[in-house]
Amino acid sequence: MFTVLNHLDLSYLHEVLVIGLFEKNKQLDGLAGEMNELLDGQLMTLLKEGDISAKKKAVTKVHTLGKINIKRLYFVGLGKEEDLTFEVLREAFGKLFKTVKEAKLTKIAVALDTFTNGKIDYNEAAHALAEALPLATYQFAGYKQKANEPEKQIEKVIVYTQGAQEEVQASLTVGYVYGEATNSARTLVNMPGNMLTAADLADYAVEMAKKYDFEYEVLEKEDMEKLGMGAFLAVNQGSAEPPKMIVLKYQGKETWENVIGLVGKGVTFDTGGYSLKPRESMVDMKTDMAGAAAVLGAMEIIGELRPEQNVVAVIPATDNMISGHALKPDDVITSMSGKTIEVKNTDAEGRLILADAITYAKHHGANYIVDVATLTGGVIVALGNHTTGAMTNNEQLFEQLLEASAETGEFIWRLPITEKDKERVRSSKIADLNNSPGREGHAIMGGAFLSEFAEDTPWVHLDIAGTSVTSSAHDLGPAGATGVMVRTLAAFVERFE
């Protein structure tokens, strides 16, 4: 996909050369200045007239009318030089690639060094560029009989930089892996419940394990019964689809210590169970496995980049259905941890399956746990659709996730879990825990419930109910699944200490 070259060769015909432009009192310097001279000062005129914009994320196409050996120049506005951040840069590249794709161009050249400032060097610019390409141009194939004309894809990007070629190439590879893995997760989330059952999710994970040489395990119903996973099994009770507990292990250290557990909610469809969802809220509940998809996406990055870390991924996969066998409100179930749970709401199923998955992650030696789940509608009310809710029992672990998320631009914000909140999830008269102690602080109740299973293990809970899907297209992707937390989890694992 990427070829890195050290200097711009004008004897070579380019369809498009992309140049970054900072707002600078109507001046053109560097490469833009050189192009201006080659084009007899015409670029300066366009800039003065406002036909080329240096505003943040503005993309301007200029046809060179055969005057130089480059057919078109694309200028990407970057705003004020001192204000450019990694996040803005990634979005600016996203806009660029959307424009390039719309124009049906398959090959472009980018003057990478015009996208750097004092804070962002060519390696970071390369990462932003390579990550934005797959993210911005992603499209879910769908199932139409007569598929649309296969869209022209960008096939080649020539990257010009004064930077060290190998380093830039490596940064491009990393960025591209991050983007592609996010797209893998998006595809899983966009797939409907009948096309992606728990068994399908398990098959997908096993394929990945074989590809990257991960150790793996898929527990069947009988195995779960033996292990006493009563909370997970209860959710699956009403289903015709067998449950799967999926485990992937990546060992990047010599010994199995300091193990990071990544746990992802894999509800392939959530009807609510007997606490049935109203018809409008049930639509889109195919996306209730976005936590599982985030964990699998992160494992794809880990498999590609092979960091020196130990990671165990645990995914409880099932749908949440009704039948004569299904779980009912008021039922009391026993989790693998031994704790009993009074089920007040069968639609609070995520915390039930995660309870056993967290216990099982510890069973596999997880010393730290991060769970990712589309857990509550409450987090959407609290934080909206752009911020993931986080809850924790460990400041340091949370700080590390926060840092990773700042890098990836996937914002997280912490909600508290107080002793009073814990009392509420322990408020059942007849069991240890209550899975739904009322609507107040809804998202927090989910977190407080899970903390009962994390116990003393440092743990962070990420509620992605609001961020896993978007209703409108954005600079880094179309409407639909976002693949949120794939990149944050991977960045967190890479830098974990």
Residues at the binding site for Mn(2+) are 265, 270, 288, 347, 349
Q: Which does 131 bind (CB under 5 to 8 A by kind): ligand BES, Zn ion, none?
A: none
Q: Which does 271 bind (CB under 5 to 8 A by kind): ligand BES, Zn ion, none?
A: none
Q: CB 13: neighbour CB atoms within 10 A?
A: 9
Q: What are 64's two structure tokens?
A: 């060179």
**Residue 237, amino acid:** Q
Q: What is the smallest separation between the CB atom of 181 and Zn ion, expressed in angstroms?
A: 24
Rule CB under 5 A: is residue 180 a binding residue for Zn ion?
no
Annotated catalytic residue within 277, 328, 344, 426: 277
Rule CB under 5 A: is residue 241 a binding residue for Zn ion?
no
Q: What are 146's two structure tokens?
A: 């007569």
Q: CB 311: neighbour CB atoms within 10 A?
A: 25
Beta-bridge partner residues of 111 = 19, 160
Instruction: Give the distance from CA 88 to its chain's centroid.
Output: 18
Q: Which does 465 bind (CB under 5 to 8 A by kind): Zn ion, ligand BES, none?
A: ligand BES
Rule CB under 6 A: is residue 465 a binding residue for ligand BES?
yes
Annotated binding site: 265, 270, 288, 347, 349
For 446, half-sphere exposure in the C-beta direction (CA atoms, 13 angstrom radius) is: 30
Q: What is the smallest separation between the CB atom of 420 and ligand BES, expressed in angstroms?
A: 17
Interacting positions 313-372 with ligand BES (CB under 6 A): 345, 347-350
What strands lie across the sheet with 14-21, from one edge to the other? 2-5, 156-160, 107-111, 14-21, 70-77, 59-63
Rule CB under 6 A: is residue 264 a binding residue for ligand BES?
no
Q: Does residue 351 have an active-site annotation?
A: yes
Annotated catalytic residue within 57, 98, 339, 351: 351
When binding is defined by CB under 6 A, the residue of 60, 183, 359, 376 that contacts ligand BES is: 376
Q: Does residue 277 have an active-site annotation?
A: yes
C-alpha to C-alpha distance for 468 and 309, rounded to whole angstroms: 26
Q: What are 231's two structure tokens?
A: 């909370």
Angle, alpha carbons 288-290-292 (nearest 5°): 105
C-alpha to C-alpha distance for 17 and 141, rounded to whole angstroms: 30
Q: Which stretch binds Zn ion (CB under 5 A): 91-99, 264-272, 396-404, 463-471?
A: 264-272
Rule CB under 6 A: is residue 171 a binding residue for ligand BES?
no
Residues within the interface to ligand BES (CB under 6 A): 270, 288, 345, 347-350, 374-378, 436, 465
Contacts with Zn ion, residue ranges (CB under 5 A): 267, 270, 288, 347, 349-350
